[in-house]
Amino acid sequence: MQKLPIEREIESILMEIEEGASMREGLTETPARVAKAMAHWFSGYNVDIAAMMKVFEDGAEDYDEMVIVKDIPIYSKCEHHMADIFGTATIAYIPNGKIVGLSKLSRLADAYSRRLQVQERLTSQIANAIVKHLDPLGVGVIIKARHMCMESRGICQQGHHTITSALRGVLKDDRNARAEFMALASC
């Protein structure tokens, strides 16, 4: 069976790391496994966000309060070192006549997470996609994550969390709506 180009590259990297790596039994299938894992880790590039964010007007006609989904697991790779980023996202929006299936908020976070990222961009991409596809009165996104590029290399300190937020519409401009979101997000 012919190896994919990425498998040949992974094999070359292994040979640089460990002399004789191609002959060691435990590493013979590693290039194929890494290629498969990378296809999964970076699958967010293949997601059609517009198609995924199907909206409904039925159910939203008289609803003007916050919809919030908390503690959505996110797994990403930093674009600087390809090291793991993992944590949770909290996503809220106030409908303006349209809602989206609740699982779509988790799927949206996952789609953008499965790209090479910095946490700041990831947070904004999620918020901007909700604004674009739902046209809500307001949007709030908070991501709390750990970065293995800080924990396993560089400063080598474990347990740090980076928290980013993106606020749009009334969740940014209205003090009471913002306070409600922040209170619900920290519950």
Show me where the domains of the chain are located.
5-41, 49-185
The two structure tokens encoding residue 56: 């409904």
Within 8 A by CB and 6+ apart from 103, the residues are none
The two structure tokens encoding residue 53: 């964010």
pTM over 0.85: yes
Listing DSSP states for the chain in one string gives -PPPHHHHHHHHHHHHHSTTGGGSGGGTTHHHHHHHHHHHHTGGGG--HHHH--EE-TTTTT--S-EEEEEEEEEEEETTT--EEEEEEEEEEE-SS-EE-HHHHHHHHHHHHTSEE-HHHHHHHHHHHHHHHH--SEEEEEEEEEEHHHHSSTT------EEEEEEEEHHHH-HHHHHHHHHHHT-
Average pLDDT over residues 16-39: 90
- Give residue-wise pLDDT tens across range 100-132: 999 999 999 999 999 999 999 999 999 999 999
Residue with tokens 């930093």: 78
Q: Does the pLDDT value for residue 168 go beyond 80?
A: yes
Residue 137's pLDDT is 97
Alpha-carbon distance 150 to 156, whole Å? 6
Q: How confident is the model at residue 182 (pLDDT cuts 50, 70, 90)?
A: very high
The two structure tokens encoding residue 48: 């059609």
Contact indicator for 74, 44 with CB cutoff of 8 Å: no
Checking phi first, is residue 169 left (phi over 0); if not, alpha (psi -120 to 50) or beta? left
Q: Does the pLDDT value for residue 159 go beyond 80?
A: yes
Alpha-carbon distance 145 to 148, whole Å? 10
Classify domain 49-185 by CATH number.
3.30.1130.10
Alpha-carbon distance 164 to 130, whole Å? 17
The percent of residues in the chain predicted with pLDDT above 90, rounded, is 82
Catalytically active residues, by annotation? 78-81, 119, 147, 149
